[in-house]
Amino acid sequence: MAGSTFQTNPYDLYKLLDDCHRGILQLPDFQRSWVWDEDRIKSLIASISRSFPVGALMTLETGGEVNFRPRPVEGAPADAKQAAPHSLLLDGQQRMTSLYQVTLRSKVVETVTPKNKKVRRWFYIDIRKALDATVDREEAIVGVPEDRVIRTDFGREVVLDLSAPEGEYAALMYPVTQVFDWDRWQDGFDRHWRGDEHEVVRETFRAFKRQVLESFKYYRVPVISLDRRTPKEAVCVVFEKVNTGGKPLDAFELVTAMYAADGHELRKDWYGDDQQQGRRRRFVGTLRPADSAAGILANVSNTDFLQAISLFYTRERRRDAERAGKAGKELPAVIGNRQALLNLPLAGYKHYERQVEHGFMQAAKFLHMLHIYRIFDLPYQSQIVPLAAIIADIGEAWEHEANRAKLVRWYWNGVFGELYGSAVESRIARDFMEVPRWLEGGPEPSTVSETIFRADRLKTMRMRLSAAYKGINALLMKEGAQDFRSGQQFDHTVFFGENVDIHHIFPQDWCKKQGLKPAIYDSIINKTPLSFRTNRMIGGVAPSEYVARLEQGDRHTPAIERQRLDAYLRSHLIEPELLRRDEFDAFMADRQKRLLSLVEQATGKAAYTGGMPEEGVDVGGDADTVEAEMVMGA
C-alpha cells in the first residue's frame, strides 16, 4: 500500500522564523521576491497579536527527486546562504518573510505603501489601543519612518518621537522587533515608570504582555510537510491548487528551479537580461510589422518551447530503447505533456534548444506564406508547437515544394477538422511522429486521414474566434483575393498598410432592413477580407448600389471599369451579377459551393455533404477552445 508523502503538524512561529534566520528553512529560487505592502504587514501583525489564524504553510523536504536551488528569505544574514536547508518553503513566503522582517531581523523594513511608493518602516504596537476592546486591532499597529519620528506640517512639527527607548516607554509604543524577547525592554520600561504613582502604567504593560505579546510567543502555525519522496508532478499540482500567492506555478518555473540547481539560468534564456536578448524577445520580434507591437510568435509561451523540446527528447529515448532491442516491450512514449517537461534533463534541453528555436522561426515564415500575419488571425495557437517541431526535425527539407505542399495540407486539415481546440497533447505528439514519416513516403498522418469537413459547417461559422472562420479568411487571401476598390492583393505590406480585416459582402444594415436573421447573414459565407477604406466606402447600402459607386468612382477614388471590377469580385469567389441584382439567397448558395471547393482544395479531400442532426452554434471564447458547433473530426 502506498504511504502518504506528507504530514500536517503545528510548529511554533518563533521556531519557523528562527529556522529562516539560520538558513534551515529556505525558499526555492524560483519564488517571487517579497512584495507585501505596509497595510498587509500591519494586518498580519494584528492577526498574530490576537492569535487569529493566518493560513497554513507548505514545506518540501530537501534531498529528494525535486532538486531546487535554495535561497534564504529576504533579509536573512549572510551565514544563512551558506547553510544547507532541511526544507524549502513552497507556500507562505510572503507571510513568513513579512514576519521575519518585522520581528527577528531587527532592521528597518523596506516595503511599499498601498499606492506602491517605496518606504522604510519600523513597526510598533500602540499598547493602549491594543488593550482597548473598542479599537480595531489594526489601528493599534503603527508604521513609523526610518528615523522613528512622525512629523506633520511638511516635517516641521514632531508628533511622535520614538528615536530613543525613552520615547517608546513614554508613548507606550512597543517595538515589534522585540515581540519574542521583551525582558530587556520591560526592564527599561519599569525604570522609566518607577514609583508607586506609576503602578497603573506598569500594570498596563503587564496586561499587554499577557494579552498581546504572549500571543506571539505561543503562536503555532499549521505546516503541511512534503517529504523527499514527493514526485515532481505532485509538487507542480500542489502549486496550482494551494499556492496562496495568487499565481499558479507552471512547469517552466519548476524546470527553471531544477536547472538552477545545476547552475543553468533558464529564465535568462527566455527573458534575457541587460547583456543578453532573451528568446521571448526574439520570438516577439520575428516578422513583426513596423506598426505592430508583436509578430506571429509573440504568444508562444516558455512552456510551448519546452514542450517542443520534450518531443525530441522523448523520441530519442524511444529510439534508444528500440536500438537496445526492447521491441515488443512497452517502449517509452513520445510526449510533450507537463510530466515530460518536468522530466526533461538539462542536457536534453541544451541539446535541442537551438534546433527547436530555429523551427519556431521557420514556422513563422510558413504561416506568413499562408497569409496568416497576426496573432488575432491565427486559427490555433496550439498548432504552432507541432508545426515548429516538425520543421525543426526536417530542417531545410520543408522548403522543397512537395514537402511544403504536404505540410500545408496537414495544417489546413488541422484547422478545418478543428482538431486543435482542446486536449491536444496526444495529437501534437502523434503529428510530430507521423508527419515527418509521411513526408518520406509513409502513410497519411491521422490529422489528415481522420478529418471530415461538413459542407453545412460554412453556414455556422459566425464567430471571429472560430479557427475555421480564420482559415477561410487566410485561404481567400492566399488564393489571390483583390481589394474591391484598389485591386491590390493582400500580401504582407498591403495587409498592414491598408488595415485589412473581415467584412460583410451584403452589409449588415442592408440585411437588417430586409428582415434577414444574423444567424444567416453573419456567417463566413457573407464575409471576405477588405481594406478599411473599402469597407467604409461600401457603407450599409445594397450591393448593387456600392458596386455602381465603385464603377463610377468619386473625387477620392477613380472609376473602375466593369470587367476589371468583376475580376476583383471573382477573386473573392463572388459571382458579380448576383451582387448587381441584390440576390442574397442565390449569392449565399453560390458562394457556399465556391468556398467549399476552396476548403476541399486545401485539405485535399471531398467535404461531407450529408445532413446534419442539428444546427451548430458558435460559442466564442478562446480560439483554442472547442466550439459547440456541429463539426466532425478525429
Write down the residue that cell numbers 530519442 correspond to: 316
Look at residue 399 and give its three-state secondary structure: helix
What angle (nearest 5°) sits at the alpha carbon of residue 103, between those of residues 164 and 217?
A: 110
pLDDT in tens, 351-399: 999 999 999 999 999 999 999 988 889 999 999 999 999 999 999 999 9
pLDDT at 632 over 80: no
Grid cell in block for residue 355: 534546433
Q: What is the pLDDT of residues 509-555, one digit of tens each?
A: 999 999 999 999 999 999 999 888 888 888 889 999 999 999 998 77
Residues 301/330, Cβ–Cβ less than 8 Å: no
Q: Which three cell numbers stand for residue 167?
A: 520615547
Which of 13-17, 228-232, 469-473, 557-561 shows the lowest per-residue confidence on average (mean pLDDT)? 228-232
Beta strand pairing call for 70-71 and 25-28: antiparallel
Q: What is the pLDDT of residues 262-278, one digit of tens each?
A: 888 898 999 988 778 89
pLDDT at 522: 94
Helices 346-369, 302-323: crossing angle, 10 deg rounding: 120
- Tell me, rounded to whole angstroms, the distance of Cα 622 from its chain centroid: 13
DSSP class of residue 634 equals -
Angle at 413 between CA 495 and CA 573, to 5 degrees: 50
SS (H, E, C) 185-210: HHHHHHHHCCCHHHHHHHHHHHHHHH
Give the global pTM.
0.73
Residue 312: pLDDT band by 50, 70, 90 thresholds?
very high
Q: Is 84 helix (H, G, I), strand (E, B) or coil?
A: coil
Q: Tell me the average pLDDT across 247-269.
A: 81
* Percent residues over pLDDT 70 in the chain: 90
The residue among 14, 5, 68, 35 whose CA lies nearest residue 214 is 14
Share of the chain above pLDDT 90, in %: 66
- What pLDDT was estimated at residue 232? 74
pLDDT (0 to 100) of residue 634: 30
Question: Which pLDDT band holds residue 612 (cuts at 50, 70, 90)?
Answer: very low
Instruction: Give the residue extent of every domain in the chain.
Output: 6-32+39-103+219-249, 109-206, 266-449, 457-603
Q: Which residue has the higher pLDDT, 608 or 84?
A: 84
The pLDDT, as a whole number, for residue 485 is: 87
566-598, pLDDT tens digit by residue?
999 999 999 999 999 999 999 999 999 999 999
**Least confident range of 68-82, 145-159, 221-235:** 221-235
Question: In which residue are the cell numbers 506640517 written?
Answer: 153
pLDDT digits (tens, 9 = 90+) for 161-206: 999 999 999 999 999 999 999 999 999 999 999 999 999 999 999 9
- Placement of cell 450591393 in the chain: 543
Report the chain's mean pLDDT, rounded to a whole number.
88
Q: Which residue has the higher pLDDT, 620 or 470?
A: 470
Angle at 444 between CA 441 and CA 448, to 5 degrees: 145
479 φ/ψ angles, rounded to the nearest 5 degrees: -80, 5
User: Would the pLDDT of 633 be above 90?
Assistant: no
Lowest mean pLDDT among 27-31, 117-121, 227-231, 457-461: 27-31
Contact 124, 172 (CB under 8 A): no
Q: What's the rounded mean pLDDT across residues 32-58?
A: 90
Find, among 199, 20, 145, the residue nearest to 93 by Cα: 20
CA–CA separation, 505 and 535 (whole Å): 9
Contacts of 460 (CB under 8 A, 6+ apart): 523, 615, 616, 617, 618, 629, 630
Structure confidence at residue 617 as a pLDDT band (50, 70, 90): very low
Q: 6-32+39-103+219-249 adopts what CATH topology?
A: 3.90.1530
pLDDT of residue 291: 54
C-alpha to C-alpha distance for 60 and 450, rounded to whole angstroms: 46
Predicted pLDDT of residue 67: 79
In this predicted structure, the answer to whether residue 134 has a pLDDT above a threshold of 90 is: yes
Phi and psi angles of residue 272, each rounded to the nearest 5 degrees, phi first = 75, -175
